[in-house]
A and B are shown apart, each in its own frame.
Chain A
């Protein structure tokens, strides 16, 4: 009696197709995960860059000028001129997402003038800390954002 079944060749071809399909799905899944995490960390890094600009805009030019001139110390969680870890503590006044501690932040203040106009350029660079999982997921190692705070009449 002749039993019906698959030849070895059929099985091999089927397994090959199946392997390609499964590998593609794995690759796609991995790429999706990578992209998703990249987007998430980019967004987080950019938000961390935007935050001091908004806060410093609220401080106003005069305060920033004093900070830039070294006459006044900036708030502890916004150190100026040095790349610093972003503190994460449940007891801190300033609360960040837990993964913010995987980044470092550099805030730079540069006075700019044009005629009678005086302003302060704020540049914030947020970089990934070494040896962290963000390094794996995030395609760029640093993001930066800039803005100007102009002197205002009193």
Chain B
């Protein structure tokens, strides 16, 4: 039957259709299930790789902070590797293929501890390394920086990946690479006191307890008062230091020129021997008659009378039993030292004024004590350049007629024999009893034309005769203001002229006024042009806590006031450059730390208005105007050093003795570097791996 056959055929189609549909549906269901599993796996891998990324980011931050902290630890291993660019860490000259072979591990203890506390994190290995990938030790002009100074790039690399035993179960991994620029600068550079520097160093000025760059100009402009002030007293005291620790003193003299310091009562023992009376030439009776025309005139007048009474004529004079000789002594020159001996002071003033007039110089006629350098026995190890001592060379003619007899030879007319007649005049003898007649250069005296002061001249002596017949061969018989000797005790040795440099030129400079300011390489500075309020914001200066944290060279755009709230304690190695600095209270190094505070102005003053101890180097040297100065408005007690264009002591507080004690921390046989690593990231690459 056709219907039966037809039904059988339709039933077979339906079954196959149903099976086909079921297979398709089954395949789709399997595909859906596969995709679901994939999604779950992706979600899990995302979590693992995200965890790895978070740990890598944390480790990178920690590694950076570790490096940052280590760059202020001058004795740390990492610091020294970085500064010396040890072969372990320095890949700056290594080919690209081998750069990754260099590097030093950076500990990331906090990240490891955190990872260990996490179920997945504990299965991850975290490593951080640091390497130098670039370093430039020359400036933009190609001039080489000092020793290990320079600008470099440090690469930090952090890798987070599964530990080997979990590599089959975990697929997440992350590597972060960052570059930070860093700067290496010497804050204190080594100096051997027995030699000069051979090139510019940023901290060269710290070699000196006192450095006056434009000293010669200031000295001449003030008539010597810059170093021999009228009312101010300054001592630079290095008592107790060994010669290798002494801070040098340079007062700014140009080569082949000099400056001098007045000798007063306190430093009189610097005057070279002989300091006491030194007998030079004894003269005979005839020379005495020539040297002392007034005396001779009186003798002659009395003789004439005697001879006339006898109706004879004079044939000559003779004298015996007298004392007459030239002597000299070396005396302090200052008013205060000579004040007890008024006649000596008058003589010195006369000699001084006469010399000035003769040399056509204008200078103060009052002579004040100089600034003092202690210990005076070690000045030969302290001073540089040509510093002279100025004392009073007192030359005089000593004559004592108290025991003398004077005769006149007379001859009567028509007689062949001469008669010797003694002249006895106690008044005349007494006039020249124990007389001390200053010998002054006749040419100098002649230069005083106004008659105001040469009235003080003892006109008993014939200065012209003295000049022409005695002083011409024995110049020491004349009084003079002597500045021929160096400011040394027991020596007149020529001292080394300091080696000074322009920071980009290799050659040494003769003229100190051309010497570069310290810390001139501004591309090695840590910060530039920062307002003062940023110091507090950056945590560098905390006025309320009275703390100063120093690190590298910071240049401010505004004047800085330190110590408004009391003594400030500082920590770290650093330089602050500002357009004007005022120190209101003490400034002290944190005990037990290798800290140094160097305060610098460029053409602006540094004012110290406290009597409290200031432990710092004060440097006021202009780049262009060369008018740097330091002013102590109260009695200054500085433990450090001073470097300035001009001393300008007349601006300092009068009537007190300011004291500068050199800090031997600045005189080292090693270089003290500071590394400043930038927080800014100059390059970053992150590679995440989740398969």
Contacts and interface: CB of A to CB of B under 8 A. Distances in A.
Interface residues of B, number: 45
B26 A35 contact: no
A70 interface: no
A73 interface: no
Given A28-B30, A114-B109, A117-B110, A150 B64 contact: yes
Contacts of A36: 35-36, 39-40
Interface of chain B: mostly helix, strand, loop or mixed: helix
A149 to B, nearest CB: 7
B36 A147 contact: no
A142 interface: no
Contact of A148 (B42, B58, B679): B58
A144 B443 CA distance: 102
A57 interface: yes
Interface string B99-121: 00000000001110110011001
A46 B47 contact: yes
Given A35-B40, A36-B39, A154 B538 contact: yes
B679 A146 contact: no
Contacts of A99: none
Given A46-B46, A50-B54, A148-B62, 20 more contacts: A18-B22, A29-B29, A32-B29, A32-B33, A32-B35, A36-B36, A42-B40, A42-B43, A42-B44, A43-B43, A46-B50, A112-B110, A114-B109, A114-B110, A119-B58, A121-B114, A146-B121, A148-B114, A150-B62, A152-B65
Contacts of B8: 4
A64 interface: no
A24 B55 CA distance: 43
Given A29-B29, A151-B65, A154-B538, A39 B47 contact: no
A143 B69 CA distance: 35
B537 interface: yes
B42 A39 contact: yes
Contacts of A24: 26
Contact of B61 (A114, A145, A146, A148): A148
Given A35-B39, A117-B110, A119-B110, A150 B26 contact: no
B33 A145 contact: no
Question: Which of B40, B51, B68 is the most central at the interface, judged by chain A CB atoms within 10 Å of its CB?
Answer: B40
Contacts of A3: 4
Given A25-B29, A117-B110, A147-B58, A35 B37 contact: yes
A21 B68 CA distance: 66
A122 to B, nearest CB: 9
Nearest to A35: B36
A109 to B, nearest CB: 13
A152 B33 contact: no
A119 B54 contact: no
Interface string A1-32: 10110000000000000100110110011011
B43 to A, nearest CB: 4
Interface size classification for chain A = 35 or more
Query: Which of A35, A53, A151, A152 has the most C-beta atoms of chain B within 10 angstroms of its own C-beta?
Result: A35
A31 B33 contact: yes
Nearest to B54: A147
B30 A154 contact: no
Contacts of A116: 69
Contacts of A38: 40, 43
B465 interface: no
Interface string B1-19: 1001000100000000000
Interface string B578-602: 0000000000000000000000000
B66 A117 contact: yes
B191 to A, nearest CB: 31
B57 A57 contact: yes
21 contacts: A1-B4, A21-B22, A28-B29, A29-B32, A31-B33, A31-B36, A36-B35, A36-B36, A38-B40, A39-B36, A112-B113, A116-B69, A117-B109, A119-B110, A146-B121, A147-B58, A148-B111, A150-B62, A153-B68, A154-B537, A154-B679
A117 B50 contact: no
A153 B61 contact: no
A151 B64 CA distance: 10
Nearest to A18: B22
A16 to B, nearest CB: 14
